[in-house]
Amino acid sequence: MSDLDLQVLDRRFAAAKEASRALGRATTSTKDGALEQVSRLLRERVGEIVAANGGDLDAGREQGLSTGLLDRLTLDERRIGAIADAVLEVIGLDDPVGESVSGRSLPNGVRIDQVRVPLGVVGAIYEARPNVTIDIAVLALKSGNAVVLRGGSAAERTNAVLVQLLRDALDAAGLPGDAVQTVDDFGRAGATRLMQARDFVDVLIPRGSAGLIRAVVEQAKVPVIETGAGVVHMYLDESAREDWSVELVHNAKVQRPSVCNALETLLVHRAAAERLLPPVLARLEAAGVTIHADEAVRALRPDLAPVTEEDWATEHMSLEISVGVVDSLDDALAHIRRYSTKHTESIVTNDLANAERFLDEVDAAAVMVNASTRFTDGAEFGFGAEVGISTQKLHARGPMGLPQLTSTKWLVRGAGHVRG
Amino acid sequence: MSDLDLQVLDRRFAAAKEASRALGRATTSTKDGALEQVSRLLRERVGEIVAANGGDLDAGREQGLSTGLLDRLTLDERRIGAIADAVLEVIGLDDPVGESVSGRSLPNGVRIDQVRVPLGVVGAIYEARPNVTIDIAVLALKSGNAVVLRGGSAAERTNAVLVQLLRDALDAAGLPGDAVQTVDDFGRAGATRLMQARDFVDVLIPRGSAGLIRAVVEQAKVPVIETGAGVVHMYLDESAREDWSVELVHNAKVQRPSVCNALETLLVHRAAAERLLPPVLARLEAAGVTIHADEAVRALRPDLAPVTEEDWATEHMSLEISVGVVDSLDDALAHIRRYSTKHTESIVTNDLANAERFLDEVDAAAVMVNASTRFTDGAEFGFGAEVGISTQKLHARGPMGLPQLTSTKWLVRGAGHVRG
């Protein structure tokens, strides 16, 4: 990358940082006004967006992208309308900026208040999903942040139109358009520079495949919030109810298999295997699920494909599941400890002590008893919007709402107070 | 570094991770019991500690360490007694583990609860301050974490004794001694490996010089909480009271100049310069402070040394101060934006609008009105103990107490609930 290109990128990052000051001080009504403009322009420019998207889709087909990827890449009038509606919903959410987190008067009379402030500049790195461009930008702007976007080459044409739209919406609302920047026109080199831009960017949020997230975590100098990958387990304890087991496993695996909170591995207590596996597996198979089974499961169902070491560690994101038998809760916990990506883990049991042990000992963003793993979700948790699901332990863990796009600062008010 | 050495280090990290499970589940009384043992063993082994420390001091003198560094390195019977007392104080603090952060029943009856859990394994990197070994280990253990320590070669002998003491204390309390590990015997290579150990270590906390912190931030793959460096400003606005100005500047600069919340740069509004600077500077000079002055200040006091560009960006940590005149609050804000390390900034004013603008617009962990910057401190803020002062925006900002050494997890309880 030439020095000139680096300068262009750094100027964009600096412009985002400068614009973040105006965003950070903007009132909720001003920011909501900008979101209204985003929603309006999405409907107004639907033709332009669809045309640009057509160009990306043509290029994608030429490059042989899979049907699934092409589907994610597609923005038609209906989807654009849904995105415009979703933007209006964000207007209804509480603005976290300025919220008091804590406060007290110190013994000497000094008053300290901890209030929420925007992070500043949020970097987002994602792939071939142009809806994320609007989604992440709108959440960042609502919480007073500027954004620098890297949406991937497959959606480059669509994203260019959407970025211009976001900038126009800010201008129309009296906010600086520079609060939305892209590095897409610089390809991978743009992404790399973004990941190094510690002086300008306050946090990086990668959204997408496990590979993308790993690459960002390994290369970034900017602090990262890891989202995503879920090798999610459900464990049917000896005392698990059959009806709950059947419905919970089915819902967790089948309701939406392509998302991170979908079930990937089912573990069953040996003493319950003969009772629970036949109805549970029958329900899965009726829904078209492919089952990878360990030796003990295959003793009951020799027709099933054997599970591999790789299967246990895989997030299939499709109608496939790994199934195994364990001798005890301890063995289930050990299996989960080994293969869990610390997203969501669930036990089905009627044994109170085992339920509490599972809740206590499993190290994951969400740990469940007798509930579908599909509940780990910002909307289900009542956050109204979801930035992503953090699988790390610092700053945010689990579904992230608007408050997780903020930091805090301490306001200290004295009357000439000195420290003794 | 040989493969064998790497294996030894990784085994220690893995042992810390394994031990962190027991620490995470330990009751508050068990953990407090371990802290009592630490305090007891510190008094019991004072001779051994002082002897090992003597070896470090001899080596330090041979290597020509400065008096200041040698002082920080020194542990005598009095200081060890003070450390043992401080450990007992940590017993009195609330255990953050298990604290409910939020909770609700979802519309469908599913119950969600967000509770504090330990981070897991805390890595600490610091220099030539053996008191930090006990300090950080005790805070980490109280909050249910294991620790891996890198205390620097200058304190290697002392730290080896202290690490063994911590491990013995854990054993005596029925907790795994492996929850305290060191990489000191592997020198810089040990520190490097620790910074890369993403699979084992959940967070790195560097404590020490700006250079040390920068090196950790740049090299680490493990998430870092930046602490420390403070180029701290105080701005005397046009309406600032003279008596407050004199006392606040003096206290912020002189009360303890070697710490991060001490004042480094004084800015004065042009219209108040003639009124405020003579008494403020006189009080500083009476306390032995060296003044680096800009042209406008030197117009009043031509005898002062001229301030350099480097001075504005320097955390002196000594009785030196940079002093400049600004034309307006805007100019003061621009100067602070340029040179601030986002630790603590303070305005002295009687103008309400200016006070509010300063609080609103300055981007720092602590922003103050009419108060000494020395108040940015865990003990002053009522946290009882301080892990460090975070100058970053993610996870923790400002003084960090025990809760900042925890993460959260979501406990989800259903009764066969599936997602529709």
Q: A380-394, B14-28, B230-244 — which is least confidently predicted?
A: A380-394
pLDDT confidence tier of residue B223, bands split at 50, 70 and 90:
very high
Instruction: Please enumerate in sequence order all residues whose Cβ is within 8 A of that of A214, keeping only pairs 6 or more positions apart, or say none.
Output: none
Q: pLDDT tens-digit profile of A6-17?
A: 999 999 999 999
Residue A170 lies in a domain: yes
Element (H, E) at A364: none
Asked whether the beta carbons of B50 and B58 are under 8 A apart, the reply is: no
pLDDT at A370: 98
Do A60 and A73 lie in one domain? The reply is yes
Average pLDDT over all residues of chain A: 96
Asked whether the beta carbons of A304 and A292 are under 8 A apart, the reply is: yes
CA–CA distance from A103 to each of A10, A98, A112, B390 (Å)? 38, 13, 5, 18
Whole-complex ipTM:
0.94
A198: closest CA of chain B, how far (Å): 10
Q: pLDDT tens-digit profile of A248-287?
A: 999 999 999 988 999 999 999 999 999 999 999 999 999 9
Contacts B375 to A, Cβ<8 Å:
106, 110, 112, 412, 414, 417, 419
Contacts B218 to A, Cβ<8 Å:
221
Residue B383 lies in a domain: no
In chain B, which among 6-45 make CB contacts under 8 A with chain A?
Answer: 21, 25
Do B122 and B188 lie in one domain? The reply is yes
Which is more confident, B415 or B230?
B415
Instruction: Say whether pLDDT at B116 is over 80.
Output: yes
Do B26 and B163 lie in one domain? The reply is yes
pLDDT at A305: 97
Q: pLDDT tens-digit profile of A181-195?
A: 999 999 999 999 999
Do B211 and B261 lie in one domain? The reply is no
Average pLDDT over all residues of chain B: 96
CA–CA distance from B207 to each of A164, B119, B130, B161, B211 (Å)? 44, 18, 12, 20, 10
Helix (H, G, I), strand (E, B) or coil at B84: helix
Instruction: Say whether pLDDT at A107 is over 90.
Output: yes
CA–CA distance from A129 to each of A61, A64, A71, A192, A209 (Å)? 15, 17, 9, 19, 12
Q: What average pLDDT does this structure show over B90-96?
A: 96
Q: pLDDT tens-digit profile of B281-340?
A: 999 999 999 999 999 999 999 999 999 999 999 998 899 999 999 999 999 999 999 999
Q: pLDDT tens-digit profile of A284-328?
A: 999 999 999 999 999 999 999 999 999 999 998 899 999 999 999
Do A60 and A129 lie in one domain? The reply is yes
Asked whether the beta carbons of B262 and B287 are under 8 A apart, the reply is: no
Q: What average pLDDT does this structure show over B180-208?
A: 94
Contacts A25 to B, Cβ<8 Å:
360-361
Do A185 and A306 lie in one domain? The reply is no
Residue B64 lies in a domain: yes
Tell me, what CATH number does A25's domain have? 3.40.605.10
Q: pLDDT tens-digit profile of A137-176?
A: 999 999 999 999 999 999 999 999 999 999 999 999 999 9
| Three-state secondary structure readout of B174-197 | CCCHHHEEECHHHHHHHHHHHHHC
Do A136 and A33 lie in one domain? The reply is yes
Do B15 and B147 lie in one domain? The reply is yes
Q: What percent of chain B has pLDDT over 70?
A: 100
Do B363 and B218 lie in one domain? The reply is no
Provide the strand spans (E) within A275-351: 290-293, 305-306, 320-326, 344-348
Do B221 and B317 lie in one domain? The reply is no
Q: How far apart are CA B202 and CA B123, in angstroms?
A: 8
CA–CA distance from A276 to each of A251, A280, A282, A309, B272 (Å)? 16, 6, 10, 24, 82
Do B36 and B12 lie in one domain? The reply is yes
Name the CA dihedral angle for A180, A184, A186, A187, rounded to a multiple of 10 degrees: 150
Strand order in the sheet with B232-236: A100-105, A111-118, A406-417, B366-371, B344-348, B232-236, B263-269, B320-326, B290-293, B305-306
Helix (H, G, I), strand (E, B) or coil at A209: coil
A151: closest CA of chain B, how far (Å): 23
Instruction: Say whether pLDDT at B228 is over 80.
Output: no
pLDDT confidence tier of residue B211, bands split at 50, 70 and 90:
confident
Residue carrying structure tokens 């009951």: A300
pLDDT confidence tier of residue A128, bands split at 50, 70 and 90:
confident
pLDDT confidence tier of residue B210, bands split at 50, 70 and 90:
confident
Tell me, what CATH number does A356's domain have? 3.40.309.10
CA–CA distance from A378 to each of A341, A357, A403, B198, B409 (Å)? 19, 26, 12, 27, 14
Residue B390 lies in a domain: no
Residue carrying structure tokens 């003793």: A299
Domain count, chain A: 2
Residue B343 lies in a domain: yes
* Domain that includes residue A281, residue range: 232-375
Residue A208 lies in a domain: yes
Element (H, E) at B262: none
Residue B8: Cβ within 10 Å count: 16
Quick one: tokens of B354? Answer: 């200016």
pLDDT at A385: 78
pLDDT at B385: 78
Q: How far apart are CA A330 and CA A327, in angstroms?
A: 8
Asked whether the beta carbons of B294 and B323 are under 8 A apart, the reply is: yes
pLDDT at A387: 87
Tell me which chain B residue has its CA closest to the CA of residue A374: B419
Tell me which chain A residue has its CA closest to the CA of residue B365: A409
Residue A245 lies in a domain: yes
End-to-end CA distance of chain B, in Å? Answer: 55
Contact A408 B395 (CB under 8 A): no
Q: pLDDT tens-digit profile of A3-56?
A: 889 999 999 999 999 999 999 999 999 999 999 999 999 999 999 999 999 999
Instruction: Say whether pLDDT at B274 is over 90.
Output: yes
Contacts B415 to A, Cβ<8 Å:
244, 370
Which of A174, A108, A118 is CA-nearest to residue A145?
A: A118
In chain B, which among 124-163 make CB contacts under 8 A with chain A?
Answer: none
B79: closest CA of chain A, how far (Å): 22
Determine contact: A360 vs chain B, CB below 8 A.
Answer: yes
Q: How far apart are CA A398 and CA A405, in angstroms?
A: 13
> Any bridge partners for residue B150, and if so which?
B125
Q: What average pLDDT does this structure show over B263-274?
A: 98
Do B90 and B198 lie in one domain? The reply is yes
pLDDT at B2: 86
Residue B419 lies in a domain: no
Instruction: Say whether pLDDT at B217 is over 90.
Output: no
